């Protein structure tokens, strides 16, 4: 369950991106960050969400936002996802769920009566000082960039 609130300091994180490069929250000090958590690469809804962010990437950048996606997939799968969909942003591998747990998005889910642990699709907008200024707990995958831009206007 997401327990972080708008106004909270964003938890520090470090992870490997799709190229195997180390990326940390501190790398974005002085910049706005769109940190979105999604369940799995190369699945229908996650692809729709990533492609919506890709298609609106220029508008997000104009608002000063850097974009990072995080899922439990490894860097190799992230690289395939990036290449297949021509994604212009960073994807962090969190196979240990450390980042997911810090942000409260690794939790129990239910599908067709079956309970399991998984990622709660959630997006955090973090300001230049590392403070969470907006949280989307149920992003609309097909229109996610539009709802982010509207909220920041």
Domain coordinates of the chain in residue numbers? 14-152
**Tokens representing 23?**
């990326």
**Tokens representing 43?**
């699945």
Whether pTM > 0.75 for this model: the answer is yes
Q: Give the whole-angstrom CA distance, residue 105 versus residue 38.
A: 9
Q: Give the whole-angstrom CA distance, residue 106 versus residue 25.
A: 19
Counting beta carbons within 10 angstroms of the beta carbon of residue 39, is it exposed (0 to 12), middle (13 to 18) or buried (19 or more)? middle
> Which CATH architecture does the domain made up of 14-152 adopt?
3-Layer(aba) Sandwich (3.40)
- Catalytic site residue from 34, 46, 70, 92: 46
Q: Give the whole-angstrom CA distance, residue 94 versus residue 16.
A: 8
Q: What is the pLDDT along the chain (153 residues), one digit of tens a residue?
A: 789 999 999 999 999 999 999 999 999 999 999 999 999 999 999 999 999 999 999 999 999 999 999 999 999 999 999 999 999 999 999 999 999 999 999 999 988 999 999 999 999 999 999 999 999 999 999 999 999 999 998
Does the active-site annotation cover 51?
no
Q: Give the whole-angstrom CA distance, residue 38 versus residue 24.
A: 18
What is the pLDDT at residue 99? 98
Least Cα distance to 145 among 77, 87, 81, 93 occurs for: 87
What is the pLDDT at residue 111? 83
Write down the residue that tokens 């002085």 correspond to: 30
């Amino acid at each position: 369950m997401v327990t972080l609130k708008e106004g909270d300091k964003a938890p520090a994180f470090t992870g490997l991106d799709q190229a195997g490069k180390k990326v940390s929250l501190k790398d974005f000090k002085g910049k706005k960050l769109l940190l979105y958590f999604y369940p799995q690469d190369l699945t229908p809804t996650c692809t729709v969400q990533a492609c919506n962010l890709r298609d609106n990437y220029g508008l997000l950048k104009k608002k000063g936002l850097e974009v990072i996606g995080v899922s439990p997939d490894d860097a190799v799968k992230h690289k395939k996802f990036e290449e297949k969909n021509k994604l212009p942003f960073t994807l962090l591998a969190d196979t240990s769920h450390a980042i997911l747990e810090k942000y409260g998005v690794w939790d129990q889910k239910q599908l067709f009566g079956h309970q399991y642990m998984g990622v709660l699709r959630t997006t955090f907008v973090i300001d230049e000082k590392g403070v969470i200024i907006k949280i989307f707990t149920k992003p609309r995958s097909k229109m996610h960039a539009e709802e982010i831009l509207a909220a920041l206007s």
